[in-house]
Amino acid sequence: MTRRDLKHPEVKATRYRAHGGGVAHMILDTRHLETLMFLAHATVPTGNTLIGHVDPMEEIYIIQSGRGRMQVGEEVCEVESGDAIHIPIGEFHELANTGEKELTILVVAGLIPR
């Protein structure tokens, strides 16, 4: 069993700026996982955006708190706490915090295809 939270020293050491508009931490990564690439926690302050980008892996964004506008490919929708958004491999995606509170998400990423 591997147990991690945002206070764990290994998790704190992974803090990084996420796509220009948020702060993220790697909770679990390939050091701990066999068939997934990572599990990350990210925060997006009010009015900020995780700038649109494309990743070479499949992802799932799970909205933990707050509200936002999510774009995946050409589709745009409002998202809120409890929503899960699937992002196919190589699909453009962007998440803007449109609420009055910080937006927090979990990001689950599949392995990069070989």
pLDDT in tens, the chain (114 residues): 888 889 999 999 999 999 888 999 999 988 888 889 999 999 999 999 999 999 999 999 999 999 999 999 999 999 999 999 999 999 999 999 999 999 999 999 998 666
Residue 96: CB atoms within 10 A of its CB come to: 21
Domains of the chain: 9-38+45-110 (2.60.120.10)
pLDDT, position 114: 61
Q: Which pTM value belongs to this model?
A: 0.88
**Closest of 6, 2, 17 to residue 106, by C-alpha:** 6
pLDDT, position 113: 64
**Closest of 54, 43, 53 to residue 21, by C-alpha:** 43
